[in-house]
């Protein structure tokens, strides 16, 4: 009997390829995860450094405020050593301004350190420039029915005879507004909303702006506020946004002897400027005569707005003198830099300015008469309890 023996020879090539590809797959996945982790770590580090650099820049702004407060105190008491030449240092617009004021050095960079552990963060502000006299005055948050009172103050020896006002940008549109964020096609012919009802005024329509010029000076008297013909020390104009409009003189205000309802002045608002993020409406108001000091009261009606005010003498821009200083601060954290540009508001424009003759909650009972005889007096119905 013969036996046939079969020999199975397995080379193992398939198993070897499976192992190799599996190992490569594991390596690729591992490397991918490592790269992802490293990238996320780098982003987190950069974000942390960016925030730290921003905080450093804000610290520079706060120190600039402190320096300007010291300058104002020195105006009444120039005796302290820090007051010596402080105004010239503030006006120098050098990166080393704060170092020169606080410690008399010429160092641009000032470290920010509250404790020993903060040293590892390596934070500093590297350059802080202070511009006390700015070419314009900008604000946001002028709410409907509210007023801002802006000091129009210039340097000694200067004067202005025109005021340029710009208002309303795309940023003034509510974040929850989902409609078309361009100026409405019919905003020039919108009806005035009824009292207490602004639903007919479009959310993207520029507000009607009430402007009041209150001039001051050494010759100012209360009686000058009542001068007629628009030549007194108080002039008021209502600026109505339209598709067409011209510059307006403040003398267009008819004064107290004029009609009760003066005609609003048409001001041109440009849709292309509005779409590009610039101010939609622009007007130049001519003063009755050049002046070196005044107040401008701005009130928004039917919508909120941002605005910018520029003083001019002819066509030349006249700078605001210490009204809204500008601080340009650069902060650093390790090798990452952030820059902040801030306007400092030392004089509040939001004090309780009387907006209405009567402001109350609930009902109002007004019952009176005018007579020259005491026996004609009648208490009227207001003294009677009304259920």
pLDDT digit string, tens, across residues 20-79: 888 888 888 888 888 888 888 778 778 888 888 999 999 999 999 999 999 888 888 888
Residue 196 counted as domain residue = yes
Residue 356 counted as domain residue = no
Distances (CA, A) of 155 to 132, 159, 218: 11, 8, 16
Residues 273, 220: one domain? yes
Distances (CA, A) of 128 to 64, 344, 345: 8, 14, 17
DSSP run (H or E) holding 130: strand 123-134
Residue 8 counted as domain residue = no
Residues 181, 41: one domain? no
> Taking all residues of the chain, what is their mean pLDDT, rounded to a whole number?
79
Instruction: Report the C-alpha gap between 73 and 71 in whole angstroms.
Output: 5
Instruction: Report the C-alpha gap between 204 and 168 in whole angstroms.
Output: 9
Residue 255 counted as domain residue = yes
Residues 158, 97: one domain? no
**pLDDT for res 167:** 94
Least confident among 74-83, 226-235, 319-328, 373-382: 226-235
Residue 369 counted as domain residue = no
Residues 131, 141: one domain? no
**pLDDT for res 135:** 94
Cα 210 from chain centre? 19
End-to-end Cα spacing for the chain:
131
What's the domain count of the chain? 2
Phi/psi of residue 243, each to 5°?
Answer: -80, -20
pLDDT class of 138 with cuts at 50, 70, 90:
very high
Q: Are strands 281-291 and 248-249 parallel, antiparallel or unpaired?
A: parallel
Torsion sign (Cα): 238, 239, 241, 243: positive
What totals of helices (H) and strands (E) does the chain contain, helices first?
A: 4, 15
Residues 111, 165: one domain? no
DSSP run (H or E) holding 97: helix 97-102
Residues 191, 165: one domain? yes
Distances (CA, A) of 3 to 7, 9, 329: 13, 19, 98
Instruction: Report the C-alpha gap between 305 and 34 in whole angstroms.
Output: 50
**pLDDT for res 230:** 45
Residues 200, 309: one domain? yes
Average pLDDT over residues 103-129: 78
**pLDDT for res 176:** 54
Residue 380, strand partner residues? none
Answer yes or no: are the C-beta atoms of 297 and 211 closer than 8 Å.
yes
Average pLDDT over residues 255-265: 61
Domain enclosing residue 210, as ranges: 136-318
Instruction: Report the C-alpha gap between 188 and 40 in whole angstroms.
Output: 52
Answer yes or no: are the C-beta atoms of 72 and 85 closer than 8 Å.
no
Residues 238, 340: one domain? no
**pLDDT for res 350:** 62
pLDDT class of 320 with cuts at 50, 70, 90:
very high
Residues 121, 179: one domain? no
**pLDDT for res 177:** 60
Residues 102, 239: one domain? no
Q: Rg of the chain's alpha carbons, rounded to an integer? A: 34
Answer yes or no: are the C-beta atoms of 206 and 241 closer than 8 Å.
yes
Instruction: Report the C-alpha gap between 179 and 77 in whole angstroms.
Output: 57
Instruction: Report the C-alpha gap between 202 and 303 in whole angstroms.
Output: 8
Residues 312, 330: one domain? no
Residues 142, 241: one domain? yes
């Amino acid at each position: 009997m013969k036996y046939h023996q079969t020999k199975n020879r397995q080379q193992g090539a398939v198993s070897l390829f499976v192992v190799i590809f599996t190992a490569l797959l594991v390596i690729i996945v591992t490397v991918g995860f490592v790269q992802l982790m490293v990238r996320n770590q780098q982003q987190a580090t950069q974000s942390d450094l960016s925030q730290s650099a921003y905080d450093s820049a804000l610290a520079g702004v706060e120190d600039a405020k402190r320096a300007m407060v010291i300058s104002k105190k020195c105006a009444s008491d120039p005796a302290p050593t820090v007051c010596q030449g402080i105004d010239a240092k503030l006006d120098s617009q050098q990166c080393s301004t704060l170092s020169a004021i606080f410690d008399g050095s010429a160092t641009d960079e000032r470290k920010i350190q509250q404790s020993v552990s903060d040293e590892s963060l390596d934070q500093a502000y590297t350059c802080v420039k202070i511009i006390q006299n700015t070419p314009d005055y900008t604000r946001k948050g002028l709410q409907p029915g509210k007023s801002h009172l802006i000091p129009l103050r210039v340097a000694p020896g200067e004067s202005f005879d025109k005021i340029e006002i710009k208002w309303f940008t795309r940023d003034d549109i509510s974040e929850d507004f989902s409609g078309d964020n361009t100026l409405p096609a019919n905003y020039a012919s919108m009806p005035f909303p009824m009292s207490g009802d602004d639903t007919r005024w479009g959310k993207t329509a520029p507000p009607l702006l009430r402007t009041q010029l209150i001039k001051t000076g050494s010759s100012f008297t209360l009686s000058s506020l009542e001068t007629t013909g628009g030549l007194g020390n108080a002039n008021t104009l209502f600026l109505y946004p339209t598709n067409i409009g011209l510059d307006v003189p403040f003398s267009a205000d008819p004064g107290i002897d004029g009609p009760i309802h003066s005609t609003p002045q048409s001001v041109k608002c440009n849709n292309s400027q509005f779409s590009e993020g610039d101010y939609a409406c622009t007007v130049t108001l001519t003063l009755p005569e050049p002046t070196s000091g005044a107040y401008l009261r701005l009130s928004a009606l039917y919508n909120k707005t941002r605005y910018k005010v520029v003083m001019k003498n002819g066509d030349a821009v006249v700078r605001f003198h210490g009204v809204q200083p500008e601080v340009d601060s650069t902060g650093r954290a390790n090798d990452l830099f952030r820059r902040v540009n801030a306007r400092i508001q030392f004089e509040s424009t939001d004090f309780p300015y009387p907006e209405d003759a009567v402001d109350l909650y609930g009902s109002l009972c007004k019952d009176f008469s005018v007579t020259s005889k005491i026996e004609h007096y009648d208490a009227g119905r207001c003294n009677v309890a009304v259920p």
